[in-house]
Chain A
């Protein structure tokens, strides 16, 4: 029985915090928010230099082959720093979908380059129906003489504007899970057009990706009948990573609030000496600390307890969404008027909390999933 981080994980945590404090201060975050792409290749390459872009990619494809808990430790630090860029899309979503479903040739073609940070990938899952179940995958995937012809529109695709390759969820038949396939589609495929959507959280970039008679060869198929099962696994991973991101962000918002309350004076004394403020801070702590254990467990279960993995991922996602949202709400209030300004950084975490909450299933969705799995 050992419920905690290993020495290596604590080391990863510390080096990630040091790196991100240095390389990803909020001045950098804001620079990325203002830029067209929200992406710095130089920054991405620095992360590649640390091995992060291939953290969960198997070693034989140039990655570190580390565990979901290692990734969660890193994601927590990234959330703490409200790190912008396509790391999540490329090194989590695309990397895992390819690792789980890709053919030998596809893995060989893409994973080492994603791990090396040379190539950006993403996952195109949702459509305008905004459904996270199998019926939400409607993009038509018709068999042709040489491969498949794709028609349909994907929505809320993260970082497609800078992606070199998309893993696309398509439908070969029917409405159910068995008709869902996965295809690996390079961005320059004729018939694929990518239009940016403007998101409230400018650290996350979203696109609409239209497929109009886009022809791909038969070798583009990554998973046929098992497409949905692979997607479920990737969604679980996304939930764990987003929960960890939320944990780090919530912790940071708490720390900033406490620091501010110690120095901001009203009525002749620090506002942090008022119980009204202290109790808000204590409530943040008492929500965050148990939630941390939930994230760690979900990450652990993802690799080690397959029967509980989905349930644990949903629990972590639902809870951390709520906790992050409430924590940033309190944090803005503790900061008062300054917390409502563009100039102050608190809105970065506040907005990230809202994106993390709705992406890959909101708390209501995940609580229902927990209910189905638990009772």
Chain B
């Protein structure tokens, strides 16, 4: 065990810090980081990602021929830590960078890699995920969106739901049923669909936060070239599972959790309750310390996983543990912030006297959504117990 950095890494950190100080656009205020729909905000976030990419700080671990640096994970960790420290805005192209990108590197054809990967990094193309359907949530493999292969094209008909970012995404990675007669896991294919294709309708759904964050996406005879198939025909479930593991790691990112906790602590140290700051109240202190301990545990847990990935050890069910623990921890942090604020926590964003620009009630709701999205906590527990502990599967159709 050695948590120190080499002189080269320390020098790299210094360089990154200087660059970030000079380039981070707008400082994010406490707890914020979720923005919906606003074209100006989207353009600004795209520009920020592009800037970060051009500086060489996005997806550094990707191979150089696809726009990465072939860098080791430590360098990317240093960058992530510095971005966190500077409270820099998140990356708008996260689903591309964290989910479809790694999947294409693993399963894509050379043509697909050349076509898509670099544009993911530059934020020229934003991706959304077409997985869930009205009838297929936790039982994702029961999905019904149909894709018929006619000549060199798939004809897609059906509907996806809870599709975040579909209102401004350029592409969707999408699971479709290509063989309805096969057992459900063996008739699915993984397609890349241009969101500008005729026959696609995106209808926003309003989330419980009041924001239009996710959507319904309808497909009516949408034509998708065969070359947009990732992996083999009817082998999409295998590809999808790789993406899901990447998604769980993205949703379980510890930097977001640390950022949220720091926001909570600042709030508690500032906000007065019964003649002292909330952070001075013994009961709230206990709760803050407990949260901090859980946050730090996840931080070191991530270091351990980082080390395992350097040593090329299998992550096992690590992604599910991350997703389960981090999303619930994030929600607990938001819930603690609400309690710290007392009556002020009940004020909506638009209200006078609202604290921290009203982000905490939104976070409270949003983090609950993330406990559900990407596989509910209950589904993660099934995965951990069945795949991780080898417990017997329950009978399912």
Q: Which of A3-11, A213-221, A341-349 contacts B (4 or more CB under 8 A)?
A: A3-11
B301 touches A290 (CB 8 A): yes
B394 touches A3 (CB 8 A): no
Q: Which of B103-111, B167-175, B375-383 contacts A (4 or more CB under 8 A)?
A: B375-383
Q: Which of B125-133, B139-147, B208-216, B281-289 contacts A (4 or more CB under 8 A)?
A: B281-289
Contact partner, B389, options A274, A281, A304, A375, Cβ 8 Å: A281
B12 close to chain A: CB less than 8 A: no
Contacts of A364 in B (CB 8 A): 286
A1 touches B3 (CB 8 A): yes
B392 touches A262 (CB 8 A): yes
Contacts of A281 in B (CB 8 A): 384-385, 389, 391
A371 touches B288 (CB 8 A): yes
Q: Known contacts being A279-B381, A370-B289, is A258 close to B389, with CB within 8 Å?
A: yes
Restricting to B360-397, which residues have a CB under 8 Å from any CB of A? Answer: 378, 380-382, 384-386, 388-394
A300 close to chain B: CB less than 8 A: yes
B389 touches A285 (CB 8 A): yes
In whole Å, how far is B322's beta carbon from the nearest beta carbon of chain A? 9
B1 touches A2 (CB 8 A): yes
- Among A290, A315, A371: residue with most chain B CB under 10 A: A290
Q: Mark B285-313, 1 if CB is under 8 A from A, else 0.
A: 11011101110111011011011101100
- Among A1, A2, A269: residue with most chain B CB under 10 A: A1
Contacts of B77 in A (CB 8 A): 1
A375 touches B279 (CB 8 A): yes
Q: Which of A17-25, A42-50, A111-119, A291-299 contacts B (4 or more CB under 8 A)?
A: A291-299
B384 touches A285 (CB 8 A): yes
Interface of B is mostly: helix
B19 close to chain A: CB less than 8 A: no
Restricting to A299-328, which residues have a CB under 8 Å from any CB of B? Answer: 300, 304-305, 315, 318-319
Contacts of B392 in A (CB 8 A): 262, 269-270, 272-273
B5 close to chain A: CB less than 8 A: yes
In whole Å, how far is A66's beta carbon from the nearest beta carbon of chain B? 13
A375 touches B296 (CB 8 A): no
| Cα–Cα, bound, A296→B307 (Å) | 13
Interface size class of A (residues with CB under 8 A): 35 or more
In whole Å, how far is A366's beta carbon from the nearest beta carbon of chain B? 8
| Cα–Cα, bound, A258→B171 (Å) | 43
Contacts of A200 in B (CB 8 A): none
Contacts of A318 in B (CB 8 A): 289-290, 293
B1 touches A4 (CB 8 A): yes
| Cα–Cα, bound, A290→B310 (Å) | 19
Nearest B-chain residue to A294, judged by Cβ: B297
Q: Known contacts being A3-B306, A274-B394, A290-B297, is A368 close to B311, with CB within 8 Å?
A: no
In whole Å, how far is B102's beta carbon from the nearest beta carbon of chain A? 21
| Cα–Cα, bound, A281→B306 (Å) | 25
Contacts of A371 in B (CB 8 A): 279, 285-286, 288-289
A83 close to chain B: CB less than 8 A: no
B3 touches A4 (CB 8 A): no
A319 touches B391 (CB 8 A): no
Q: Known contacts being A2-B2, A262-B392, A304-B3, is A293 close to B297, with CB within 8 Å?
A: yes
A1 touches B74 (CB 8 A): yes
| Cα–Cα, bound, A275→B265 (Å) | 36
A3 touches B1 (CB 8 A): yes
Restricting to A255-294, which residues have a CB under 8 Å from any CB of B? Answer: 258, 261-262, 269-270, 272-275, 277-279, 281-283, 285-286, 289-294
Nearest B-chain residue to A305, judged by Cβ: B3
Contacts of A6 in B (CB 8 A): 1
| Cα–Cα, bound, A279→B381 (Å) | 5
In whole Å, how far is A326's beta carbon from the nearest beta carbon of chain B? 13
Contacts of B382 in A (CB 8 A): 275, 278-279, 282
Nearest B-chain residue to A285, judged by Cβ: B384
Q: Known contacts being A278-B382, A375-B269, is A262 close to B391, with CB within 8 Å?
A: yes
**Given known contacts A281-B385, A296-B304, what 16 new A-B pairs fall within 8 Å (CB)?**
A2-B2, A3-B307, A4-B1, A5-B1, A272-B391, A278-B385, A279-B385, A282-B389, A293-B297, A293-B300, A315-B296, A368-B285, A368-B286, A370-B289, A371-B289, A375-B279
What are 25 A-B pairs at a CB distance below 8 A? Answer: A1-B77, A1-B303, A1-B310, A2-B307, A69-B1, A261-B391, A269-B392, A272-B391, A274-B394, A278-B381, A278-B385, A279-B378, A281-B391, A282-B324, A282-B389, A290-B301, A296-B1, A296-B300, A304-B4, A315-B293, A318-B290, A367-B286, A367-B290, A371-B288, A374-B289
